[in-house]
Amino acid sequence: MTLGRLLVASVLAGACASGRAGTAAAPAPATSAAAPIQPTPPSPPPASASASVRYGPGAQRYLVHRQLHIQQTLGEQVQAQTLGARIFVTMAITGPADSVGYPTTFSVDSIVADSGTPAPVADNIVKVRKLVFAGRVARRGEFVNAVPSDSALAQSVAQLLGNFRDFLPRLPADAVKPGATWTDTVETTQRAGDATSSRRTTIHASASTWENRAGVSGLRVETSQTYHVTGSGKNAGQPYELSGEGTATGTAFLTADGRYLAGEVRDSTALTIRLPVQGVSVPVVQVAHTAVSALP
């Protein structure tokens, strides 16, 4: 196993750790992406300063700019890699909700690699067209029970794309109001091929007052989180184990009718990858920056 190939496996495990248990299932029927998307009308101002915000049916197109910087050290050798892409995606939430949440699809229209992204990664990225994830959006905003229309294609870009589980900001179960503060502890597990990873996250969040952003009234939500990651798997037939800690901070802007208009998250993870057969440990640092903006 080369160190470069190990890097991809380890980062994939860390990046996917925010998903629930379950390997990607069989491809979803093609009809899941067939329904036309109707734009959601502009958000009305809140009826009062104490109005609450919750997620509900609607559709919105987004530009997601995600950048990853990964550095690993083996002995005195330091290797670094930077990946980046602009992801054009449409989220469609429909009703009525069932016991899990609202039926929802994330349709990836295209992904454009940043300059400097390694050719093998960039080549996979440009192949992505009309990749659809079908699932449910729960009351708090998690996208669960996600099934990709092409599991192999989804896996090839998981390092940058993930599975949209945490795309929407996490809210209290009974909606959020200005001035609210809350804390959540989330435990998740993700399986992808021969890799399994688990993550325990503590999230602290607060909502400010209503403010105006580009002519739209909305609620600003700020979050900070700490998390612990563990995992194991095989790469090129060789076993590995990983563990580490991370922190993240983020901001989000939500309209009165529950639309997510913009957000930004900065995330830093320090991992240790152990190779039992070789008897070595590899420190890996991953820094991620994700910016989300709604498109007309």
Asked if residues 204 and 188 have their Cβ atoms less than 8 Å apart, the reply is: no
| Regions in the chain scoring below 70 on pLDDT | 1-50
DSSP state of 40: P
- d(CA 144, CA 160) in angstroms, rounded, equals 19
DSSP state of 36: P
* DSSP letters for 231-243: EEEEETTEEEEEE
| All domains in the chain, ordered by first residue | 54-295 (2.30.230)
- d(CA 182, CA 178) in angstroms, rounded, equals 12
| Residue-level pLDDT at 215 | 84
- pTM for this predicted structure: 0.81
Residue 164: φ, ψ to 5°:
70, 10
Q: State whether residue 123 is helix, strand or coil.
A: helix
Buried/exposed code over 219-228 (b: 16+ C-beta within 10 A; e: otherwise): bbbebebebe
- d(CA 288, CA 209) in angstroms, rounded, equals 28
